[in-house]
Amino acid sequence: MKLGIPRALLYYDHAPLWSTLLEGLGFELVISPPTNKAILDLGVNRAPDEACLPVKICYGHLAALEEKVDALFLPRMVSERPKTFFCPKLMGLPDMVRPELAAELFSPLVDLRRGKRELIRQLSDTLDRGQRQVREALGFAERSLNRFLKKMQEEKLTPLEALAGRSLRRKASQRQIGLLGHPYLLYDSFLNMGLISFLEERGFFPLTAQMLPPQQIQRCAEKLPKKLFWSMEAEIMGSAIAFLEEQVMGIIHISSFACGPDAMIGELISLRAKQSGTPLLELNLDEQTGQAGLQTRLEAFLDMLQRRCPA
Amino acid sequence: MGYYLGLDVGSVSTNFVLLDKEGKVVWDLYLRTEGRPLVAIEKGLGELAKENPKVLGAGTTGSGRKLAGVLIGADVIKNEITAHAVAALALVPSVQTVLEIGGQDSKLIILRDGVVTDFAMNTVCAAGTGSFLDHQAARLGVPIEEFGKLALKAKEEVRIAGRCAVFAESDMIHKQQMGYPTEEIVAGLCSALVRNYLNNVGKGKELLPTVVFQGGVAANLGMRRAFEKALGTKVVVPEYYSVMGAVGAALLAKEEVANTGRSKFKGMNVANWENEAGSFECPHCPNQCEIVEIKQEGKVIARWGDRCGRWSNVEVAV
């Protein structure tokens, strides 16, 4: 059976987990191509107007796959840690997209507050495989996810580089820029108009949350007076504080227009950056494909960093 | 005697300046872009050719900086923020805050000890920028040059909603129908735009004197006064406020040429050359990038707009 996985949203966080699990259970996988204009157009046409851009793009990826597969795989992401949640749009996503799709949708509930046994039961039900078989495949999948996460941290790689099996250990040079934001914004080079290569071409090393030890991020996130219950935002906030610890030259925070949780932590981040005197650039992404606005701000930011501390 | 040329190709205006070796403005030109940057650049070059200066280096800035840069062979192609900061610093060395309002965007630049430490630009919305003031002046039947002076005549101010240009306009129409005098409405509009700028662009930033106000909108006396009132400090408008981007570009060109030793400027005969800009959609992938192609004297000198570099990396005749 051919199963389609959209290269969108949490793909950049969990890719090896789901691909190892599903392949282990005997599915043939089709992963949608990197985001392109056709996928964006498909998504914008299908998604409800008030959805954020990453959700619209996910619609586009699902649409690009639906004719090529027997079913689509899109888990319902509710919680991965106690007392934390994913964004409500992710929780409701399977219900939002289902009526629009020509192919069947497999969306097991991922709510780890209920424990792993419940997850195994969910996977077993939606994928129609025995629980024992799922448990075994999940064990492999988790190890593969951990190797992926560790590789990114140890070799300072982006998810795409780690997935492609690249193992160039990049030198964390003096000129580090902390790159903050959801992985689906940071690593989708169509969406962010090639941000990472833009920085690299100009001699800056983009440091991201995925390249930091999770213990450090968690310890930093706990410095907040109140714990954030959005798990993705807690990670972004924790890495913002960790970047300040690492004394990056500057921080770039990418968010997408109409992202509720990001709007709130945006303020928290700018307060912290201001206290430590670290320059912060906030960039807001939406459907525009004109690169001028983004480039002007980035160029000016890099000029400012360079003039503040000449190499 | 040689000069440095600066070009600022913006959405509303295209500006040229010539600086002498000391960095003093010896010639400047303010043209309306009118949506056709290529035409404006050619027109400006024509005017420049009449002066027949010896150009030692050239820099471009503004949203049309890339286009202008390849046409004339610029030594530096810089973003507007850096250009404006450099110019303000050169003309008003004590500057700590630059307010810049242009045709389509507004910027705020914070400097400390002669270095940019922070900046902000308006987001996608162009509310409160020059083109909106232009539009409102035309609607009220007041020439834009008189608009600011009119605001100064007002004894009272009418409260106008400044958050959004569309709301501001309907608010103004409403206040007009109620019978408020035009000058009070105009003064109210200036205050609304300043309030909006300070809330939106300036949010959370510390605006310390010396405050320099530049960009086309700095001509507007009403806006100057509204800023002074809101900030409680004197606002300095430099003599060449409308062409500060171009001044910055020229200064950066001077710096660049001092480093490289030679200029890439194509010479004054560029004024006589035929330029042509065309575009096409690349058929090679689903991104369907719109490629812009610039020709000079029939030869392709630059292409851009592609995400993959297929077109812009192609060796082109210079």
ipTM for the complex shown: 0.79
B92 near B236, Cβ under 8 Å? yes
B259 exposure class (CB count in 10 Å sphere: 0-12, 13-18, 19+): exposed
**Alpha carbon distance A272, A278 (integer Å):** 9
Cβ atoms of A70 and A37 within 8 Å: the answer is no
Q: Which residues of B touch A270 (CB under 8 A)?
A: 204
**Residue ranges of B 171-200 with Cβ closer than 8 A to chain A:** none
CATH architecture of B274-318: Single Sheet (2.20)
Q: Which residue has the tokens 């806006």?
A: B223
Q: Contact B227/B194 with Cβ under 8 angstroms?
A: yes
Which of A7, A39, A296 to probe by mutation at the B interface, max B CB count within 10 Å? A296
Q: Which residues contact A119 (CB under 8 A, 6 or more apart)?
A: A108, A109, A110, A111, A112, A138
CA distances from A90 to A8, A261, B155, B215 (A): 12, 12, 55, 44
Q: Which of A210, A201, A156 is nearest to A183 (CA)?
A: A210
Residue-by-residue pLDDT tens, chain B, 318 positions: 799 999 999 888 899 999 999 999 999 999 988 888 999 999 999 999 998 899 999 999 998 999 999 999 999 999 999 999 999 999 999 999 999 998 778 899 999 988 888 898 876 565 667 888 888 888 888 888 888 889 899 888 888 887 777 788 888 888 889 899 989 988 988 998 898 888 888 887 889 999 999 998 998 999 999 999 999 999 999 999 999 999 999 999 999 999 998 999 998 888 888 888 888 988 888 888 888 888 888 888 888 888 777 887 766 544
User: Which one of B287, B291, B292 makes the best mutation probe of the A interface by having the most chain A beta carbons within 10 Å?
Assistant: B287
Cα(B44)–Cα(B67) distance, integer angstroms: 14
Neighbour count for residue B6 (Cβ, 10 Å): 34
Cα A257 from Cα A210, distance rounded (Å): 23
Angle at which helix B182-200 crosses helix B165-178, to 10 degrees, equals 160
Q: What is the pLDDT of residue B72?
A: 92
Contacts of B78 in chain A (CB under 8 A): 299, 303
What is the homologous superfamily of the domain B96-237 according to CATH? ATPase, nucleotide binding domain (3.30.420.40)
Query: Out of B79, B117, B289, whose CB is closest to A300?
Result: B79
User: What kind and span of H or E run contains B25?
Assistant: strand B25-32
Q: Per-residue pLDDT tens, chain A, 311 aa: give them.
A: 999 999 999 999 998 999 999 999 999 999 999 999 899 999 999 998 888 899 999 999 999 999 999 999 999 999 988 888 999 889 999 999 999 888 999 999 999 999 999 999 999 999 999 999 999 999 999 999 999 999 999 888 999 888 888 776 566 556 899 999 999 999 998 888 889 989 988 889 899 999 999 999 999 999 988 888 888 889 999 999 999 998 899 999 999 887 888 888 888 998 999 899 899 998 888 776 566 778 888 999 999 888 877 65
Structure tokens at B153: 């005549």
A60 closest CA partner among A73, A42, A33, A72: A42
Query: For residues A6 and A62, is the Cβ–Cβ distance under 8 A?
Result: yes
Q: Which residue, among A282, A17, A91, has the nearest Cα to B204 in the 3D structure?
A: A282
Greatest Cα-to-Cα distance within chain B, rounded to the nearest angstrom: 65
* pLDDT given at position B317: 43
Nearest CB to B287: which of A37, A284, A301?
Answer: A37
* CATH 2.20.25 intervals, chain B: 274-318
Q: How many CB pairs under 8 A join A and B?
A: 59
Report the CATH number of the A171-308 domain.
Answer: 3.40.50.11900
Q: Does residue A126 have a cis bond before it (omega within 30 degrees)? A: no
Q: Which CATH class is domain B2-86+244-272?
A: alpha beta
Q: What is the pLDDT of residues B112-141, one digit of tens each?
A: 988 888 898 876 565 667 888 888 888 888
Domains in chain A: boundaries: 2-152, 171-308
Q: Do A274 and B119 lie within an 8 Å CB cutoff? A: no
- Residue extent(s) of CATH 3.30.420.40 domains in chain B: 2-86+244-272, 96-237
Contacts of residue A258, Cβ cutoff 8 Å, sequence gap at least 6: A50, A51, A52, A53
